[in-house]
A and B are shown apart, each in its own frame.
Chain A
């Protein structure tokens, strides 16, 4: 036989090489797919006055028959465009007025590991839409659901909770902090409720 392999060992090696090649091909295709989501731009969005309470749930459990799948992660967790829009809104909607560029001041810091009301996307969504006692205004009805999700994604990028290829890499104007892309992941810790955060 004039096959390139002479014994079983060679045959096995070639099989392995073939499967490795297949794996490489599949993973590069996957990379391409994830890149699609990274750059996807969705312009038709929910209006601000659409009920925000139906757009996010803390749990997937619900009474009655299942109606629709609930995404509690938000549509922008893997979307670089959405995160950069969130960054634009962060300044335009004056989040920076209290939280500054993440270091906090009037409001709590957003680039550290401490979270008073939870670091999960749905928690941050609720914090923005419903507000929190002693200072955090409720943006429900003033911002569209998609805009809030963009903000959620950006706020998470500030403490390195997003993949590095999704987080913003540069500023449009003067750089006042290291870029979100270079921020090391701060493992979220539940902070105790400060006295200022307690309900009156």
Chain B
């Protein structure tokens, strides 16, 4: 799977079995490993008993319906049933304890991130006491390594579910209700997350990346994201900006520093700094972006973005401009 992702140009690991955070580690070490071990041992025991029963030779002295034998069998079945109940009850207790440990509130220095689910992409916002320092991005969550982050989950349309398997458990995003969870990455890297609650046509193509980076480079990233978009310097990118503002784009998209400020679609202020487009559907390359702009419905049928019939020269200028949005 990882090989396949790398071959397709997708960064990011996506596995419950490779935990990078304390919560995912709890799930794996306290729940998955013991359950897997117990299930494997039980399976082996059941198979052994089955084979023993199937292949054992019946002794000629055996009497059918011998009361002593019947009693012995009853005791065996009773013991096995009792053992099963005990094992399941132990797991119930472990499950509740792990659940408590995962949801326990982290310390006060936690980073606050607001994630809003839309059909079919993720809006990510880093808030600040000063609104002009807010950072809005899409489908890519950056976190500093070793520092817990509280993720506030909201939805604007239907129920989605936030699930980065390497980092933490799932949690639903419910319209009209605020949920939250926290996560922490202990290793730098790019981890993939996915919507885990069926939410319509493109539920499968509603992915996001969690980019865990060292504290310094995270701070740099956040500072750069606070900047407004750079003003176009040459004639091509200037034309690209005119195309952007003059077409249907600003009806839904925002670019800070320009009159485009709509919040319907993903914020494009730092589009070129993101690794994927269309919520993890395609790597963010010029060709993919061009194809996406001209006809998103051929890539992600049902996506809320309409097709755009742009003049080839206009499209090239627009792409050149979008590539400057680092």
Give A residues with C-beta under 8 Å from B. 41, 43-50, 88, 92-93, 141-144, 146-147, 172-174
Question: Chain A nearest CB: distance from B101 CB in Å?
Answer: 35
Question: Chain A nearest CB: distance from B230 CB in Å?
Answer: 25
Is there contact, CB below 8 Å, between A49 and B310? yes
Is there contact, CB below 8 Å, between B264 and A92? yes
Is there contact, CB below 8 Å, between A43 and B297? yes
B248 at the interface (CB under 8 A from A): yes
Contact of A143 among B201, B248, B302, B307 (CB under 8 A): B248
Total A-B contacts with CB atoms under 8 angstroms apart: 52
By beta carbon, the residue of chain A nearest B119 is: A88
User: How many positions in chain B have a CB within 8 Å of any CB in the partner chain?
Assistant: 21
Is there contact, CB below 8 Å, between A147 and B247? no
Query: Could you list some 10 contacts between A and B, CB below 8 A?
Result: A41-B302, A43-B302, A44-B298, A48-B309, A142-B251, A143-B306, A144-B307, A172-B158, A173-B175, A173-B176
By beta carbon, the residue of chain A nearest B310 is: A49
Q: Note all chain A residues with C-beta closer than 8 A to B176.
A: 173-174
Is there contact, CB below 8 Å, between A172 and B297? no
B308 at the interface (CB under 8 A from A): yes
In the assembly, what is the distance between CA of A173 and CA of B176, in Å?
7
Is there contact, CB below 8 Å, between A49 and B308? yes
Q: Note all chain A residues with C-beta closer than 8 A to B298.
A: 44
Q: Note all chain A residues with C-beta closer than 8 A to B309.
A: 47-50
Interface membership of chain B positions 295-311, coded 1 if the CB is closer than 8 angstroms to chain A and 0 otherwise = 00110011010111110
Contact (A147, B306) CB under 8 Å given A141-B247, A172-B157: yes
Is there contact, CB below 8 Å, between B251 and A144? no
Q: Which residues from 107 to 151 on chain B have a C-beta closer than 8 Å to any C-beta of chain A?
A: none
Q: Looking at chain A's contact residues, is the secondary structure mostly helix, strand, loop, or mixed? A: loop
Q: Note all chain B residues with C-beta closer than 8 A to A93.
A: 251
Is there contact, CB below 8 Å, between B248 and A141? yes
In the assembly, what is the distance between CA of A147 and CA of B298, in Å?
17
In the assembly, what is the distance between CA of A60 and CA of B142, in Å?
57
By beta carbon, the residue of chain B nearest A145 is: B306
In the assembly, what is the distance between CA of A172 and CA of B155, in Å?
11
In the assembly, what is the distance between CA of A44 and CA of B306, in Å?
9
Q: Which residues from 66 to 109 on chain B have a C-beta closer than 8 Å to any C-beta of chain A?
A: none
B256 at the interface (CB under 8 A from A): no
Contact of A48 among B297, B301, B306 (CB under 8 A): B306
B252 at the interface (CB under 8 A from A): yes
Most central of B176, B297, B306 by chain A CB within 10 Å: B306
Most central of A49, A93, A142, A143 by chain B CB within 10 Å: A49
Q: Note all chain A residues with C-beta closer than 8 A to B301.
A: 43-44
Interface membership of chain B positions 171-204, coded 1 if the CB is closer than 8 angstroms to chain A and 0 otherwise = 0000110000000000000000000000001000
Q: Note all chain A residues with C-beta closer than 8 A to B156.
A: 172
Contact of B248 among A41, A48, A88, A146 (CB under 8 A): A48
By beta carbon, the residue of chain B nearest A94 is: B262
Question: Chain B nearest CB: distance from A104 CB in Å?
Answer: 23
Contact of B175 among A47, A141, A172 (CB under 8 A): A172
Contact of B307 among A45, A88, A142, A173 (CB under 8 A): A45
